[in-house]
Amino acid sequence: MTPSDREPTGQRIARARRRRGLSQAVLAGLVGRSESWLSQVERGKRGVDSHSVLVRLAEILRVDIEELTGSADRDETGSRAHPATPLIEQAMMGYGAPNPVDGGEEPGREVSLDFLRAQARSAYQAYQATRYDEAGRILPSLIRAVETAVRMACSGNPAACAVRARVYDTSAALLSRVGEPFLAWAAADRAMFAAEQSGDPLLAAAGAWRLSYMITGRKHPQEALDLAMAAAAALKRMTRVPSAEGLSVYGALHLAAATAAAASFDRATTQSLLATARGIAHRTGEANHLGTAFGPVNVAIHAISASLKLGDPRTATETGEALDLVAMPAGLVGRRTQVNLDLARAYAMTRKDAAAVNLLLAAERLSPQLVRYDLATRDVLTELLRREHRPSTPELRPLARRAGVI
C-alpha cells in the first residue's frame, strides 16, 4: 500500500474539489448535503456514509470513484460482474488471429460477410432485449471472425468495415451496460474508426453517437458534447434531404449531447438540446433505425435521466408518470426497463422508499439481467438497504440478494 492509498477520503475529495474550482457550498449543494457536512468530511471529522453520495461526488468532480476512495476499494466498485467481459477483451486483443482455445477460423477460409452481418444483428437484438448473457456468448467469436474477414478482404473493404463497425458498436453497448466503461470506450472507438473506413456517413454518425455516450461515461462530458454536435453538423451538411434513418441518427446525436450537457450540470444547454430532439422526434415518430430507438418516448426517457443528473428528482417523476411506453417499437426491453430504474432512483432520492422498491421489482420482472448488471441500480439498492425499514419494504432484501448486492 502506497502513502496515497492511505490518504483519507476527505482529503482526496478536497483536492479534487479544488482542482475543479468548486467551493464547499457549491459541491455540497450539488450532492444534496450541507456545507457543514462537507467541511467535516474533508477535515476527517466524519465519513461519507452513503455509496450513492460517493458516486455522485465522483460524477461532479469528474474522477473515477477509486480516486476518492483509494485503490483498496477497487474490488467493491470495479470488479467485473459479467462473465463475457474477459472473453470479449481477449477477442479484441487477437485482431483476427486464430484462438488457441477453439482454433478460431480455419487458415485461409473465407468468412461470409452476410453471415457475420446476420450474427451482428442477432447480437444487437439480444442486447436491446437485455438478454446480455446471450449477446455475451455471441460476441467473442464474432469479434474474431470479423477481424479475420477484414484482414482477408483488405482493411479498406467498405462492406467488411461496415460489419466490423456494427460488431464493435454492439460490444461497446453491452460493455457499457454491464459496468466496463474503459473497455466499452475502446470498442466504441474501434466502431467509429471502422464506420469512417466504410465510407458511409450515416454509419460514421451513428458511431459518433455511441462514442459520445462512452466518453461521457469516462467523465469527459465536454468532449462528448463536442463530438456529438460536430457529428450532427456533419450529417446535416451531407444529407440535403434526410432519410428516416438520417433523421433518427441526427436526433439521437442531440440526445447524446443532452446527456453530456447534463453530466456537466449545464441545465440550459441540456433543455435546449432536449427541445431540439423533441422537435425531430415529432417528425420521425417511434422507430429503431440503426439501433437508436429514437422517438418521442426515448426523448422523454432521456429527459428523466437528465433531470436526475441535474439533481431534480421531482421533475423526473412527473415526466415518468406521464409517459406512455406502449408506442415504443417491440424488442426495446432495455428502454422500457430503464424508465422503471430511473423512476426508482428518483423516488429513492426523495426518500419514497416503498415506491422505489416497487419500481425496482417491476424492472426486475421486465429484465432481471439489467437490474443485476446496472451499476446505478446497485447504488440505489445499496442506499435503500442502508436506511431499510423492513415493515414497509419487505421485498427489498430478497431483491438485493437476487441482484447480487448482498
Q: Tell me, what DSSP letter sits at residue 113?
A: H
Residue 307: C-alpha distances to residues 61, 224, 243, 310 (Å): 18, 18, 31, 5
SS3 (DSSP) at 106: coil
Distance CA 186, CA 55 (A): 23
pLDDT at residue 112, as a whole number: 87
Judge whether 214 lies within some domain: no
The count of domains in the chain is: 4
C-alpha cell at 404: 447480487
User: Cell 441545465 maps to which residue?
Assistant: 267
SS3 (DSSP) at 241: coil
In which region does residue 2 sit, left (phi positive, over 0), alpha (psi from -120 to 50) or beta (all else)? beta
C-alpha cell at 55: 458516486
Strand positions, DSSP E, 205-346: none
CATH no. for residue 19? 1.10.260.40
Judge if 52 and 151 occupy the same domain: no
Distance CA 42, CA 22 (A): 14
Judge if 9 and 58 occupy the same domain: yes
Judge whether 122 lies within some domain: yes
Distance CA 51, CA 32 (A): 14
Residues 238, 252 contacting (CB under 8 angstroms)? no
Distance CA 34, CA 26 (A): 10
C-alpha cell at 398: 430478497
Q: Which helix (H) or strand (E) holds 110?
A: none
User: Which of 272, 298, 325 finishes a domain?
Assistant: 325
Residues 316, 354 contacting (CB under 8 angstroms)? no
Q: Which residues have CB under 8 Å from 45's CB, separation 6+?
A: none
Distance CA 370, CA 141 (A): 23
Residues 378, 403 contacting (CB under 8 angstroms)? yes
C-alpha cell at 50: 452513503
Judge if 115 and 190 occupy the same domain: yes
Judge if 61 and 92 occupy the same domain: no
Judge if 399 and 384 occupy the same domain: yes
Concatenated DSSP letters of 288-313: -GGG---SHHHHHHHHHHHHHHTT-H
Judge whether 207 lies within some domain: no
Judge if 138 and 177 occupy the same domain: yes
Judge if 274 and 347 occupy the same domain: no
CB atoms within 10 A of CB 52: 21
Concatenated DSSP letters of 138-202: HHHHHHHHHHHHHHHH-TT-HHHHHHHHHHHHHHHHHHHHTT-HHHHHHHHHHHHHHHHHHT-HH
Residue type, position 380, single letter = V
Q: Per-residue pLDDT for the chain (406 aa), expressed as one digit of tens each?
A: 444 445 678 888 999 998 888 899 999 888 888 899 999 899 888 878 666 788 788 888 888 776 787 643 333 344 446 889 999 999 998 865 555 444 444 444 556 899 999 999 999 999 999 999 999 999 999 999 999 998 887 667 899 999 999 999 999 999 999 988 889 999 999 999 999 999 999 999 999 999 999 999 888 999 999 999 999 999 998 877 789 999 999 999 999 999 999 999 999 999 999 999 999 999 999 999 999 999 999 999 999 999 999 989 999 999 998 888 888 888 899 999 999 999 999 999 999 999 999 999 999 999 999 999 888 898 899 889 989 988 999 999 999 999 888 8
Judge if 106 and 119 occupy the same domain: yes
User: What pTM value is reported for the model?
Assistant: 0.80
User: Cell 426517457 maps to which residue?
Assistant: 301
C-alpha cell at 131: 438478454
Q: In which domain, by residue range, is 277 found?
A: 220-325
Residue type, position 157, single letter = N
Judge if 226 and 313 occupy the same domain: yes
pLDDT at residue 49, as a whole number: 67
SS3 (DSSP) at 206: helix
Judge if 148 and 94 occupy the same domain: yes
Distance CA 323, CA 317 (A): 10
